[in-house]
Amino acid sequence: MADKRDYYEVLGVSKGASEDEIKKAYRQCAKKYHPDLHPGDKDCEEKFKEVNEAYEVLSDKDKKARYDQYGHAGVDPNFGAGGYGAYGQGIDIDDIFSSFFGGFGGRRSNNPNAPSRGSDVEASIYISFEEAAKGCKKTVSYDCVSTCDECHGTGAKPGTQPKTCSVCGGSGRVTISQRSPFGVVQTQRACDACHGKGKIIDSPCPKCGGSGRKRKTKTVDITVPAGIKDQQILNVGGRGNAGYNGGPSGDLHVYVNVQPHPVFERRGDDVWCNLPLTFAQAALGAEVVVPTLDGKVSYQVHEGTQPGDVFKLKGKGIQRLNGRGKGDQYVRVTIEVPKNLNAKQKNLIKEFESVTNEKNYAQRNSFFEKIKRMFNE
């Protein structure tokens, strides 16, 4: 563990950072190093794993408290059962904390052998604008703590079993009697022999070091529903960190990042886009081709269309999430003024200008009428 970087340093936050600051830093780092944005870059892939590992600890109050006091040793599932402490076998920092302080967040009960749920983990995916609109299937890769497949979570070497602690009888706690001016006072504390676990492992599993848990990279196929928005979270039940003593696993929270589109803009369930027209098309009207999420459609632009006019294509927007129907598509007209005209083109425009009058320009005429009223001309 000596080569591991400080988790706060990995996320670029101070030790006193708030929960929101840690989450914000994680999202920024995850986006920066996400493998989908750097295909084949092993360095970014390793940094992405490092960022996820750091966030998994610092976003969990239990683990963060242990990490702040014990460093990496307090949260590494492979730590323990290797000669640390007075008894050297089956030490579990998580249980030591649970014994002394009653646990953080109520995850563990007073019974050290009672099943308890594993914590949740997070992952991110990147999808295109079209995939968000129509839905898709994605394979998500993420790191989590799983039950050791060698010892099946017992922490003991295959072929052996943990022993019930003879000192505490498997309760994980011992009662201490002390004399005081008020008589004999009895208090309970973690059993020194088993360090609060209630069991002692004489032969630790060589694969997980006696913890019964091992960090792994897993993949899961998920269905992204049509209409999902940027930064929405998909919950995959039972795909998080493994539980304790046969308890259920936590969940996987998948943050969905929707990449921007070069043409379309989303507003709710509606889609907006700009349509550039020539002066002639806008003035005379024309049949034009408009791009939509369902392909190209023809539209008849009416005569005298102005810059900024908007027309609607009903039902050409985005599927409503978990609902019926679709939004609409709104098309905003822009007029492109031609550049680099040759002499003939310029003369034709001048000729056109000479045969037009103010009646042909309603907005221009209205504008100058307002100016006249302003200055009483």
Distance CA 88, CA 201 (A): 10
Distance CA 122, CA 144 (A): 9
pLDDT of 77:
58
Query: Residue 331: which of 360, 297, 354, 362 has the closest Cα?
Result: 297
Beta bridge partners of 260: none
More confident residue, 96 or 317: 317
Chain segment 129-174, per-residue pLDDT in tens: 999 999 999 999 999 999 898 998 888 999 999 998 888 888 888 8
pLDDT at residue 9 tops 80: yes
pLDDT at residue 365 tops 80: no
The secondary structure of 6-28 as a DSSP string is: PHHHHHT--TT--HHHHHHHHHH
Distance CA 62, CA 231 (A): 26
pLDDT at residue 108 tops 50: no
Task: Indicate the range of 27-36, 229-238, 257-266, 357-366 predicted with least confidence.
Answer: 357-366
Distance CA 341, CA 330 (A): 32
pLDDT of 91:
39
Average pLDDT over residues 268-280: 95
Give the chain's mean pLDDT.
Answer: 84
pLDDT of 40:
78
Query: Residue 36: which of 136, 123, 116, 98 has the closest Cα?
Result: 123
